[in-house]
Chain A
């Protein structure tokens, strides 16, 4: 069944001549998405004249490269700008500054028909499977809507029968039955709805898909199903993912490279193995120490960060993490932490970290700090 689905679909994809061959040997290596110094600020209005009094620096100068066929994971606390970055790349939010290119084409400068054509190549999978499907539309219209919007003389998607056939093909590709197309969203479970959302994203045969926490709203048993599906589809359609998540175990399983975000900035970029083996930013260390060990007998000492995330409307000076940094405290509060914003430095092996003292981020140092944290302090900081 899967084979037939794949062949029928490749018929409809003249742009990608040999998806089967590509699936065998994914062309990893060439950059597909390149973001340079992307900034997305939201205005804050205040006063009686409703004038702009400030900005929320949701994404503040992020540069990243995602190679074709690769999965780039984006992790960080809630409110650190992961989702905003993904939406900015997809042109759902207006970037304040910076550039994003796909295959060398500037995406942020595109307007009108060119932008609409470009939209075929980049899609979004949502977190909430309940809010992302219009309750008044049957599944055929939900998945077929993109086809209708992107219909032109070549693909013939304006014709209902051609559209419906393709909708059925993609329903099968995500493991649902063809005839589900006539049903309405309220007739499906959360996992099924998420599959429908994935089918919608893939129906336009995109190159690049932003997965915005695609499994966080699902039951744990369903999560693995959806992750396996996403993984299968990645090789089947040669997709490139930007995978946004806050579940670090999911990211470890799923991603090739990972970017750690804190307050609108990337603080560390590394391959998955390198990051989990030897994180080079104090924040990454703290984040990784929060991964629960699925063994109740293991008593793990967590590295607990003090305080809350500062407001993105008024970020700290210098390194944005310095107000909560355990390493800074250990080193005796060096001045440059609060005055100079550290750039992402190449630490070798493709690992980059934005810390003045990245060389001193070691397991021993972290353990020392963790062991000095009092139990009471850890307990009061726990609820999160």
Chain B
């Protein structure tokens, strides 16, 4: 039991007694830290080394992609003056002229400028496509999974049908009708194909979450469908959605490179990572390896960074994991 004496401090010798004291003085608890699930996840993420490493790689590339085009914008008419091309443009050339990644053959572009601008545009396309596809996929998947019935059947058959279309042909047709080579068009096409996987994922998560007891608890007090989706289901479905959309940024970077390499992507005169690689095809045979290696490295660094980060997010967002 707790005893209060004029000269003595409070003696608390059992949990029950402590509870009793605290009940009488609820203010003791005011300073207690109470973390929600997101704060706990952030704490776990911060302790995940690979995730931090991946995140720093990725966000460095994002910074390069944002600042690079501002500091050294690409101008397709501005070639490197011939007197600066030393040793056939072989890198590294830091001084007296700053061309650290060397220069391209034929039209003498600075590879560093190309890569920096390529990172910016490629990230813009893939992040933009990811945002759009995640939003569409989440909406479709939520409706399909929670409301179910005929709506589910219709939406999922549409998804099945769209999944059957090959990406390359779709891009080919779209560039025919929507005007070829605009990065925005490419982004939209990626987004319109990317939401299919997301919607399936969200649907499956919703199907399992809607059976949860707390959803029944909400239904039994008369909470509406939309509020259940937004307040109960989506917050709990966020973890897999975040992980998948993070990884899909990497997927879109690769797809952009692949599509542009084949010549169906963004206009060849615009520097995306894929376009730069595509231009370097013949130059590699002539010994100009730096034209291809540096944009390739950029892709590797971005994708690797995202994958490490996604891995860490998966662990950090798992609510069953210990802090």
Contacts and interface: CB of A to CB of B under 8 A. Distances in A.
Interface stretch (B47-55, B142-150, B196-204, B218-226): B218-226
27 contacts: A92-B216, A115-B222, A123-B220, A124-B217, A126-B217, A128-B213, A131-B212, A131-B213, A132-B214, A134-B214, A134-B231, A134-B236, A135-B236, A146-B222, A149-B222, A150-B221, A177-B23, A177-B26, A177-B29, A179-B30, A184-B34, A184-B35, A184-B37, A186-B319, A187-B34, A197-B217, A200-B221
A149 B221 contact: yes
B34 A183 contact: yes
A211 to B, nearest CB: 13
B106 interface: no
Q: Which of B29, B40, B220, B236 has the most CB of A within 10 A?
A: B220
Interface of A: 1, 87, 90, 92, 115-116, 119-120, 122-124, 126, 128, 131-138, 142, 145-146, 149-150, 177-179, 182-184, 186-187, 197, 200, 204
A197 B235 CA distance: 20
B36 interface: yes
Given A92-B219, A126-B217, A149-B223, A136 B37 contact: yes
Interface of B: 22-23, 26, 29-30, 34-37, 40, 212-214, 216-224, 227, 231-232, 235-236, 319
Contacts of A132: 213-214, 216-217
Given A128-B213, A179-B26, A145 B221 contact: yes
Given A132-B213, A138-B36, A124 B223 contact: no
A135 B37 contact: yes
Contacts of A138: 34, 36
B319 A135 contact: yes
Nearest to B234: A136
A142 B218 CA distance: 9
A313 to B, nearest CB: 20
Contact of B222 (A120, A137, A187, A200): A120
A115 B221 CA distance: 10
Nearest to B212: A131
Nearest to B218: A145
B224 A149 contact: yes
A123 B235 contact: no
List 7 tightest A-B contacts by C-beta distance, closest first.
Answer: A146-B221, A132-B213, A119-B222, A136-B235, A116-B222, A134-B214, A131-B213
A122 B217 CA distance: 11
B52 to A, nearest CB: 24
B36 A136 contact: yes
A187 to B, nearest CB: 7
Contacts of B219: 92
A363 B214 CA distance: 44
B14 to A, nearest CB: 15
A170 to B, nearest CB: 13
B36 to A, nearest CB: 5
A90 B34 CA distance: 34
Contacts of A184: 34-37
B197 to A, nearest CB: 24
A92 B215 CA distance: 11
Nearest to B236: A136
A276 to B, nearest CB: 31
